[in-house]
């Protein structure tokens, strides 16, 4: 029988991109066994992890957020199989902190480790190893889902299989994930052998990616989004493998953020001109075309985790992230057009990342990852960015691709329903008390 966990706190809330803002009641969760009860006056509910989604996937304007970060306990670990069971509010950073010194690593890591296991399942996150590993959901063995009627469902590929698939990449809409079992993988040490290659344009990117996919577990490219002409798509390709050196066993130092952005930068600091300059500087900072190093895993996987509150760089108004996936066959042509459109707009993105994805199918009903090429860009929250991104959505739709909801704050319902025609199937599994700002925006569901 669910019991109430105490008075609700009201708060104005935002996600990592700081746009949009939402006003919602927050209900901290500490024990999964407490369950939750929500009065109708509290509106719809939604779980929130570490709010590292960029837009409104983790917001519930006018409703209630269940803050699951208090569900942060490890439950069991099997040394023989590497299967870890933990509560859904445990962060990936915490798993790495505890398990890397014991010789285990996460099978999939996104560009930040400050993400909860529940958030990783709900967005079926992907990492630099998608071409060989697939996405997070591929490593989820079981989880326990609590519904608003007090029912708990054990879900796996063999048990409540449809709910299992609807919850992976299900945008938090099927209920509250209490705990998850994931398969960790063994590593020799905490270091990565890395190669960094400066390349000249889009054709080079595709050639280098194809060659690297065969030999490297991790692969990603930073792209100079302001480059044009023959240099369109130029950037720095980073590829790596776990080091197998048995003499390097220790955990590299430095958990958490080493630097902090203590205040909001005025919005004029990151403008078209300075971002172009930063792009130019970053591209040319790699003096040699090729370099090789052995680096600790943290800066390799999540370089921005070293700067606390880096999202303040865009000022109080926040910024917009945009990530697309375009099928392989259309990839080159579509990416040429997308990058040329960005360059022509005069708006430049600083954190621009491009990657070829693999063909291992995602388990989730609505998962974003799939075969093709992905590009992530960010832009200041100004009217011109909205216009540009709608144009880019059109190009992605024409190429048969899709946009990542975890990073979205503004795509239209029409685009979403074209990108994810299976969205109505999710409605069959959605908990009737659960909804989000994103879901209402993209499906027209009433609050
Ligand atoms: C710097 C940076 C880099 C990133 N890089 C990547 C990347 O490389 N690849 C990638 O895929 N993503 C990436 N992301 C996005 C991020 O991984 C996802 O948005 C992730 O889901 C955030 O997890 P969270 O714990 O912050 O969840 P939140 O953002 O708080 O919530 C995300 C979703 O999970 C649901 N949810 C959370 N907990 C539960 C629960 N217990 N039960 C049910 N639903 C729950 C929420 O309702 C919401 O729908 C990046 C984000 C940042 C800020």
- The 10s digit of each residue's pLDDT in 7-64 is 455 556 789 999 999 999 999 999 887 767 666 566 899 999 999 999 999 999 999 9
> What percentage of the chain has pLDDT greater than the value 70?
86
For residue 285, the CA-to-ligand 1 centroid distance in Å is: 31
pLDDT tens digits for 199-235?
999 999 999 999 999 999 999 999 999 899 999 999 9
For residues 39 and 36, give the distance between their C-alpha atoms in angstroms, rounded to a whole number. 10
**Preceding omega of 354 cis (within 30 degrees of 0):** no
For ligand 1, is residue 364 a contact (CB within 6 Å)? no
- Statement: residue 182 has pLDDT above 90: yes
**311 or 435: whose pLDDT is higher?**
435
For residue 344, the CA-to-ligand 1 centroid distance in Å is: 32
Which candidate, 175, 35, 48, 4, places its Cα nearest to that of 437?
Answer: 48
| Residues contacting residue 408 through CB under 8 Å, at least 6 positions apart | 54, 55, 56, 57, 321, 322, 438
For residues 41 and 398, give the distance between their C-alpha atoms in angstroms, rounded to a whole number. 43
For ligand 1, is residue 119 a contact (CB within 6 Å)? yes
- Statement: residue 187 has pLDDT above 90: yes
- β-strand pairing of 45-48 with 64-67: parallel
For ligand 1, is residue 68 a contact (CB within 6 Å)? yes
pLDDT tens digits for 65-88?
999 999 999 999 999 999 999 999
Predicted local distance difference test score (pLDDT) of residue 315:
85
Q: What is the pTM for the complete model shown?
A: 0.94
Could you list the beta-strand ranges (E) of 147-271: 152-156, 176-183, 185-186, 191-199, 218-223, 235-242, 259-260
* Residue 321, strand partner residues: 378
Largest separation between any pair of C-alpha atoms in the chain = 64
């Amino acid at each position: 029988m669910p019991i109430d966990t105490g008075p609700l706190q009201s708060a104005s809330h935002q996600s990592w991109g700081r746009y949009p803002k939402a006003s919602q009641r927050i209900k901290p969760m500490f024990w999964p066994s407490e369950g939750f009860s929500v009065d109708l006056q509290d509106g719809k509910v939604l779980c929130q992890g570490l709010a590292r989604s960029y837009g409104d996937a983790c917001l519930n304007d006018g409703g209630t957020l269940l803050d699951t970060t208090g569900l942060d306990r490890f439950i069991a670990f099997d040394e023989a199989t590497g299967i870890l069971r933990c509560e859904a509010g445990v962060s990936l950073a915490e798993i790495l902190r505890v398990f890397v010194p014991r010789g285990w690593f996460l099978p999939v890591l996104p560009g930040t480790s400050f993400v909860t296991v529940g958030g990783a399942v709900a967005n079926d996150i992907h990492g630099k190893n998608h071409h060989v590993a697939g996405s997070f959901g591929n490593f989820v063995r079981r989880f326990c889902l609590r519904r608003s009627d007090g029912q708990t469902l054990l879900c796996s590929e063999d048990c409540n299989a449809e709910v299992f698939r609807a919850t992976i990449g299900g945008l938090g809409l099927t209920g509250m994930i209490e705990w998850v079992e994931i398969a960790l993988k063994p590593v020799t040490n905490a270091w990565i052998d890395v190669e960094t290659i400066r390349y000249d344009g889009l054709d080079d990117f595709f050639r280098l990616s194809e060659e690297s996919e065969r030999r490297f577990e991790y692969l990603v490219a930073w792209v100079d989004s302001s480059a044009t002409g023959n240099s369109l798509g130029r950037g720095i390709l980073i590829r790596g493998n776990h080091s197998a050196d048995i003499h390097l066993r220790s955990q590299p130092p430095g958990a958490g953020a080493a630097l902090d952005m203590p205040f909001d930068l005025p919005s004029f600091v990151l403008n078209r001109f300075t971002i172009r300059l930063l792009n130019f500087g970053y591209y040319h900072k790699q003096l040699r075309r090729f370099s090789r190093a052995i680096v600790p895993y943290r800066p390799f996987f999540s370089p921005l985790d070293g700067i606390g509150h880096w999202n303040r760089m865009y000022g109080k108004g926040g910024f917009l992230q945009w990530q697309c996936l375009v099928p392989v066959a259309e990839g080159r042509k579509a990416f040429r057009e997308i990058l040329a459109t960005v360059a022509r707009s005069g708006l430049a993105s600083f954190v621009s990342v491009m990657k070829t994805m693999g063909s291992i199918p995602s388990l989730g009903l609505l998962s974003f990852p799939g075969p093709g090429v992905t590009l992530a860009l960010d832009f200041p929250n100004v009217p011109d960015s909205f216009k540009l991104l709608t144009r880019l959505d059109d190009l992605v739709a024409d190429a048969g691709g899709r946009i990542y909801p975890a990073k979205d704050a503004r795509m239209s319902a029409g685009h979403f329903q074209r990108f994810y025609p299976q969205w109505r199937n999710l409605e069959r599994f959605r908990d009737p008390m659960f909804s989000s700002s994103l879901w209402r925006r993209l499906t027209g569901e009433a609050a």
